[in-house]
Amino acid sequence: MTRADYPEPVKALVGELKRLPGVGPRSAERIAIWLLQHPKADPLSLATSLQEAKAAILSCPTCGFFATLEHCGICDDPKREQSVLCVVEQATDVLPLERSGAFRGRYHCLGGKLSPLDRVSPEDLRIPSLLKRIDDSEHELEVILALGSDVEGEATSNYLADLLRGRACSITRIAQGLPAGGGLDHADELTLMRALEGRRAF
Amino acid sequence: MTRADYPEPVKALVGELKRLPGVGPRSAERIAIWLLQHPKADPLSLATSLQEAKAAILSCPTCGFFATLEHCGICDDPKREQSVLCVVEQATDVLPLERSGAFRGRYHCLGGKLSPLDRVSPEDLRIPSLLKRIDDSEHELEVILALGSDVEGEATSNYLADLLRGRACSITRIAQGLPAGGGLDHADELTLMRALEGRRAF
C-alpha cells in the first residue's frame, strides 16, 4: 500500500499557489481545495484573468506605471499638471499618493531603490529616462522626491538630488514627521528628530 | 483629471484573487502586482495549473476523495485492507489520517456534516452510497467514524451509528482525549471529561 496523496494536478496547483507572496504551504493547500471543491469557486475565471492581465499589462515606457498596450491612464491624461513630476520607487507607490488626493501632476517610477546589498546600482533604475523627461520638458519642472524614509530610500533621494542639481528643475522632497493620528509616545526618536527639524511656522 | 487607478485587467485579477479563502483586498492587490511584476512570477503557469486541475480532478464516485478521470489512488490500491472503512466529513480529512500512518483501509467522505443551521440534512451527504458500500461488501466491515468532535460532528456520528446498527458491520469511533504534547493545564473541561471517560487499562 502506498500512502495516499492528492493526484498530480492538485499537487501542481498547490505548488504554484505556494509561490505567491504571503501564501504558505497550508494556505496553498486550502486555496487549491477550495478552488476545486467550493460551489462558489471559479478556477477557470481566475485562470482567464491571469492570462488576460499578463497579455494586456505592461510598464508605461514613459512613467513606469501599469499601462495597457494602447494607453497609460496617467501620462495620457491632459488634465494633469505638466509642471510637477513625482519620483517614486515602485509603480505600486502611485496609487497611495493618488488616493491621498494631494497630487495632480505626473509620476516617474524608478523600479527600485539603490541598495548595494541587493546589488541594485543606478544602472538598474529608470534614471536615464528621468533625466530625459526633465531635459525634454517644455515647462520648468518641480521634481518631488517621494521615496521611502529607510536607509536605501534616503540614499536614493540623495543620489538623485546630486544628479538633478544644475538641471532646469527645482527639487523638493516629501516631508518626514509624525504620522497622522499618532501620539508622540508612539513615535520613535528618529521620527521625532525629523519632525522637529521639519517644523514650520504656525 | 481623473484619479489614476490600475488598468481594468489588473482590477479584474485583483477581484478574482480577493475571492480566495484567507486572501483579503490588500493581499489580493499585493499578489496581483507580484504576479505581473516579479521576475520569478509565472502567472501563465498558475493559469495552466488551474485549468489542468479543474479539467482532470473529480470526486471519486466510490469514496469521494480526489481522483482523476481514470483513477482513484485509494480505491484502486489492491494493497489496502478491504475490511475497514473510515468515514470522514471531507475529502480533505483523508490526508491527515494518511500522514498519521495509522490506517491502512479505505475511506468514505460524506461531503459535510449534519447542520440544521446551515441547512445540511442527511440527503445532502453521501450516506446512501455508504450504506450501499456496506451492503455490497464481500467482507464483514468495521466502519470507523472519524468525524469532528464539535456539535455537528457528534450529531452526524450519532445519526450514522443509529443508521448502521443492525447492518452487517461493526461500528467504532476514533478516541477523544488529550491531544499529543498538551499538558492538562491547557486542556478544556470537556476534553478532560472525555479523556477520563475514555480511559483504558495501562
Q: How far apart are CA A200 and CA A197, in angstroms?
A: 9
Look at chain B and count its residues: 202
pLDDT above 80: residue B70? no
CB-CB: which of A13, A20, A92 is closest to B53?
A: A13
Q: Please tell me the predicted confidence (pLDDT) of residue B1.
A: 64
Q: Encode pLDDT of B85-109 as tens digits.
A: 999 998 888 988 888 888 889 999 9
Which residue pairs, CB below 8 angstroms and at least 24 apart, start in B153-162? B153/B89, B153/B113, B155/B113, B155/B114, B156/B89, B156/B110, B156/B113, B156/B114, B156/B125, B159/B114, B159/B122, B160/B87, B160/B127, B160/B130
Contact A7 B56 (CB under 8 A): yes
Q: Encode pLDDT of B159-172 as tens digits.
A: 999 999 989 899 99
Contact B10 A57 (CB under 8 A): yes
A-B contacts (CB, under 8 Å): 183
CA distance B179 to chain A (A): 20
Which domains does chain A show, CATH number per domain? 8-56 (1.10.8.420), 66-201 (3.40.1360.10)
CA distance B144 to chain A (A): 18
**pTM recorded for the entire structure:** 0.74
> Which residues on chain A are in Cβ contact (under 8 Å) with B33?
91-92
Q: How far apart are CA B8 and CA B4, in angstroms?
A: 12
Contact A50 B44 (CB under 8 A): yes
> Which residues on chain B are in Cβ contact (under 8 Å) with A6?
66, 95
Closest CA to B86 of B42, B50, B130, B56: B130
CB-CB: which of B31, B49, B101 is closest to A21?
A: B31
Strands of the sheet containing A141-145, edge to edge, are: A106-109, A84-88, A141-145, A169-173
Q: Encode pLDDT of B122-151 as tens digits.
A: 999 999 999 999 999 988 899 999 998 889
Contact A53 B10 (CB under 8 A): yes
CB-CB: which of A16, A46, A52 is closest to B9?
A: A52
ipTM over cut 0.85: no
Q: Encode pLDDT of A79-126 as tens digits.
A: 999 999 999 998 888 988 888 888 889 999 999 999 988 889 999 999
Closest chain A residue to B18, measured at CA: A46
**Residues of chain A falling short of pLDDT 50:** none
CA distance B20 to chain A (A): 6
Closest chain A residue to B42, measured at CA: A16
Contact A9 B52 (CB under 8 A): yes
> Which residues on chain A are in Cβ contact (under 8 Å) with B9?
49, 52-53, 55-57, 68
Q: Please tell me the predicted confidence (pLDDT) of residue A185.
A: 81
Q: Are B27 and B49 spatial neighbours (Cβ–Cβ below 8 Å)?
A: no
Contact B1 A67 (CB under 8 A): no
Closest chain A residue to B79, measured at CA: A1
